[in-house]
Structure 1
Amino acid sequence: MSKKILAIAYLGTLFLVSFSSCGEKKKQLPIEQVETSTQLQYATGFTIEQSGDLTIIKVISPWPGAESGFTYALVPRTRLASITLPSDAYDAIVATPVENMVITSTTHIPALESLGVLNVVSGFPNTDLISSPAARKRINDGHIKELGTNENINTEVVLELNPEVIIGFGINDTNKAYETLKRSGIPIVYNGDWTEQTPLGKAEWIKFFAPFFNKEVEADNIFKKIEASYQEAKLLTKKVTQKPTVLTGGLYKDVWYVAGGNSWMAQFLKDANANYLWANTDNKGSIGLSLEAVLEKGQKADFWFNPSLHASYEELQQANAHYEQFEAFTTKKVYSNAVKKGATGGLLFYELAPQRPDLVLKDLISILHPKLLPDYEPHFFMPLR
């Protein structure tokens, strides 16, 4: 995957005779079912409904611009003998609790680790991208196998691992490896956490993982703590009377990409009570601009965040001498989420930040309004060297 989407990046056999798609007549669930749904306050990309023993997860937004979503059925192992389902009614059927899982994005790791089920992960594409010390230990001990890349997963290794489900990541529906594995009987379940636009919306995807392990209560409690921490930090900034101006992004070839006004990053800056210079734009992703346009609007910005993947002022200067024209460069107020890396070079921000938006917000507050959090040690955003 390119560095540009490094943040977003990353990736059993549920061999159940009763779930065979061979055309056998399926026994229907009883009509009288108590139906409930998991209350989601911020996430908009998925829903969870409970109907008797059956849990239905609908992923509405597996990737940006998806024309349709996916529907997955989760069934307790103990009920496999008494409940059968028509395979063509669902995109995947999974027995729970899952004991062997392949994941494909580093954003999946913090949720599984928080739920105490990291031990079920048996494979991952491009393990060097993983920063979590606990996950790295399992990689080093041989418990999490290298699978190549998400776009070209080593299907032979996956089949040897015999996972019960693969939690997939995709920017579209053209992953041929996924199709091969699906034909081999391995359920593919897409996770679209990265398509959420709000900080707490991304974090709430921990509830997506919970039903796979019967950990709904734990997920709800974890999210409530994160939400409370985020709201507490946000409340701190209400005292601020002066909002520092902020510039984001950097040049990729000849185009400068800044965060759009409705993007994840822009929401953080808004909640940190900053004056983000492109806050009034409607873009949910990034906006491509010329260097001249960014200079005109952002030359005098007080702070500059995420100048591409550059980690030092020397790197910035060597990449483009025009960077020196920005006041944030000369006043040494440039901060990056690409400085802090895992043991094998993975970027901690792209792995952990979606699950811990409260830490991201506190990072930004400590930089933009240092008096509000005087003793705070940032987790993600570091000054350029």
Structure 2
Amino acid sequence: MALPRGGRLAAAALLLALLLAGATAPTGAAAQACANRVRNCDPSRNYFTNRVKPIAHATTIRGLRYTNTYVDVTIAALEGKPPIRYRFVRCGCRAPSSGRVVISIPPAAVYVGDTSTLSQVALEIRALNTVAVIGNVFSTYSPEVRRRVAAGRIRSLIPSAAEFSPKYARLLDASVTGVSGSRAPLLALIPSRAIKPFRAAVGNRLRFVTSGELDEVTPLGRAEYVKFFGIVLDRSGTADRAYDTIVRRYGAAKRLAAGARRRPSVLTGFPFGGKWNQPGEKEYAARFLADANADHRYQSNGKVLATTLSGAQIVRQFGSAEVWVNAGLYPGSPSLTLDELLADDPKLSNAVFKKLRSVQCGRVWSNQRQVSPDGLANNYFEEGAVRPDKILSDLVRLFHPNVRVPGTFNYYYWLGRPSGLKCPTSNLFG
């Protein structure tokens, strides 16, 4: 039986509303709570007056496009997984999904699973008040975050130092997360490696946003993810200014290094389980050494991945290296001496360490200047992961002591001279 004209119009309106509602989220996915809701959203009005500049260095952030009510971004190359196409919609507005993952922004509350992302959120875009839950307080350096966890203002998904893997199902329990009412459900910011276990634990009951920063092979590429998180948390202006500062300071440090009189040879890292990794030419860590104007044996090997060496191979290939960086023990210490390092494992020291010219001449540096009181968290991997300008400035200072770099050391410190060893070179940097 045909409906009367008024009934047909009402049915059409209802169908359109259902289609629009269904288009704003993937089927079966729970909508996360958002903040600063727009009343009576007008699609002709621009709700993104602060916009990040075009992506310049990050190769995995693609297709950035603004409209009046939403922002499209594609995150590609997530550790070999298919790209994720996001549509970030202003809270209170509607937009068709067009096959994208739709997220309402800004979120009312977030879970932050990775310490580098936490540093982006807390320090660079100043959105710590949005953080309700973090992955692991024991691997977090930030004193402010630790204070908030101790005060119950932020929860830690991992409640004990004896646990290592987060149980994501806990994010569904308000008694665990402290997130309820208008702030629930929260939005999860997770690293790409966590996508599979996260989905297995919570299904479609929580939305998540992930990034491809670990697939970036350049320091400035990784740091540019501050723009992505600026979009997600509606801090685009702050994110843009933060990134401009990083690029400017990184470039200044690189130019100072390029003007140095000589390039010292370098060994990096520390052995674990009898194996010692050295970065390939196209690896993230190698770019720091190149931009700091240091000479690494593998700087032209064309490899993306690190090369794993034995102690004997390290002695043969890097025994004459003038400087050793990123040495240290775990738990970390900001006051470890070279003698203490050598005494920790006498067998390894006699077989390897004491045969290195960098050790004999006391040119060993640790990146543990800023570690938590228990030594479990290192700010080099937290803030340093998103502030490559600070890391590069440190490396230029220690590789080129005659170059005047503004400021003081951020993450590195010198382990001092060894006892009972003779340096074969009278003036290593002469």
TM-score, structure 1 length as denominator?
0.83
Moved more, 145-154 or 53-62: 145-154
| Counterparts of 2:228 and 2:408, CA distance in 1 | 30
**Closer, same or farther: CA 343–312 of 1 in aligned 2, 3 Å:** same
Contact 1:125 1:150 in 2 (8 A): no
1:376 positional shift: 4.2
Q: Equivalent residue for 1:85? A: 96
Structure-1 separation of matches of 2:52 and 2:399: 40
Q: Which runs of 5+ in 2 are unaligned?
A: 1-20, 30-41, 331-335, 417-430
Preserved CA contact (<8 Å) 1:169 1:191:
yes
1:341 offset after TM fit, Å? 0.3
2:189 match: 167
Q: What is the deviation of 1:298?
A: 0.8
The amino acid of 1:106's aligned partner reads T
Provide the residue aligned with 1:44 in structure 2. Answer: 59
* Residue matched to 1:351: 382
In structure 2, what is the equivalent of residue 307 of structure 1?
A: 327
Written as runs of structure 1 = structure 2, the 5 A alignment for 1:228-243 is 228-243=248-263
Tell me the distance in 2 between the aligned counterparts of 1:94 and 1:44: 22
For the 8 Å contact 1:94–1:164, the answer to whether it is kept is no
Pair 1:115–1:346, CA change in 2 (3 A): same
Match of 1:367 among 398, 404, 407: 398
Tell me, yes or no, if structure 1 residue 181 matches structure 2 residue 202. Answer: yes
Deviation at 1:190, TM superposition (A): 1.2
One-letter code of the match for 2:396?
I
Q: Kindly state the Cα deviation for residue 206 of structure 1 after the two structures are TM-superposed.
A: 0.2
C-alpha distance after superposition, 1:122-162 (max 9, x if no partner): 11121111112222222122121111267432423444133
CA shift, 1:172, in A, is: 6.5
Q: Partner of 2:115: helix, strand, or coil? A: coil
Deviation at 1:300, TM superposition (A): 1.2
Corresponding residue for residue 142 of structure 2 = 132
Letter in 1 for 2:404: L
- The structural deviation recorded for 1:292 is 2.3
CA shift for structure 1 position 352: 0.7
Q: Which residue of 1 aligns with 2:270?
A: 250
Task: Using the TM superposition, name which of 319-328 and 335-344 deviates more.
Answer: 335-344
The 8 Å contact of residues 131 and 351 in structure 1, kept in 2 or not, is answered as yes
Residue 354 of structure 2 is aligned with which of 316, 324, 338?
324
- Paired with 2:249 and 2:405, the residues of 1 have a C-alpha distance of 17
Measured in 1, the distance between the counterparts of 2:223 and 2:329 equals 24
The 3-state SS of whatever aligns with 1:232 is: helix
8 Å Cα contact 2:74-2:84 kept in structure 1: yes
Q: State which of 207, 210, 213 in structure 2 corresponds to 1:193.
A: 213
Residue in 1 that maps onto 2:69: 53
Kindly state the Cα deviation for residue 168 of structure 1 after the two structures are TM-superposed.
0.9
Distance in 2 (CA, whole Å) between partners of 1:174 and 1:278 is 34
Q: Kindly indicate whether residue 106 of structure 2 is the aligned counterpart of residue 97 of structure 1.
A: yes
**1:239, CA displacement in angstroms?**
1.9
Taking the aligned partners of 1:103 and 1:208, their CA distance within structure 2 comes to 14
Match of 2:6 in 1: none
The structure with more radius of gyration: 2
Change (3 A) 1:283 1:275: same
Q: Residue 286 of structure 1 corresponds to which residue in structure 2?
A: 306
Quote the offset at 1:246 in angstroms.
0.5
Asked whether the equivalents of residues 131 and 346 of structure 1 are also in contact (C-alpha less than 8 Å), the reply is: yes
Give the secondary-structure state (helix, strand or coil) at the position aligned to 1:201.
helix
1:167 is matched by which residue type in structure 2? L
Give secondary structure in 1 for the equivalent of 2:308. strand
Partner SS for 1:251: coil
Question: Letter of the aligned partner of 1:383 in structure 2?
Answer: W
1:13-63 superposed Cα distances (whole Å, 9 cap, x missing partner): xxx98647269xxxxx99xx9xx9951111112222223412122111223
2: CA distance, partners of 1:200 / 1:20? 33
Change in CA separation of 1:343 and 1:72 when aligned onto 2, cut-off 3 Å? farther
Aligned to 1:153: 167
Aligned to 1:108: 117
Shift of 1:374: 6.6
Residues 199, 264 of structure 1: 8 Å contact kept: yes
For 1:181 and 1:22, how far apart are their aligned partners in 2? 12
Equivalent pair of 2:53/2:240 in contact (CA under 8 Å)? no
Q: How many residues align?
A: 354
Matched residue type, 1:330: Q
- 2:153 maps to amino acid: H
CA, structure 1 residues 144+172, in 2 after alignment: closer, same or farther (shift >3 Å)? Answer: closer
**Larger relative contact order, structure 1 or 2 (CA cutoff 8 Å, min sep 6):** 1
- Tell me which residue corresponds to 1:298: 318
Supply the distance in 2 between the matched residues of 1:84 and 1:243 (Cα, whole angstroms): 55
Unaligned runs of at least 5 residues, structure 1 = 1-15, 24-28
In structure 1, give the amino acid aligned to 2:359.
F
| Structure 1 Cα separation of the partners of residues 28 and 252 of structure 2 | 54
Give distance in 1, aligned partners of 2:229 and 2:185. Answer: 16
Decide whether aligned partners of structure 1 residues 312 and 95 sit closer, same or farther in structure 2, where only a CA change above 3 A counts: same
Is the alpha carbon distance of 1:20 and 1:174 closer, same or farther for their aligned partners in structure 2, counting shifts above 3 Å? closer
For residues 81 and 109 of structure 2, the distance between their equivalents in structure 1, rounded to whole angstroms, comes to 30
SS at match of 2:78: coil
CA distance in 1, matches of 2:385, 2:275: 26
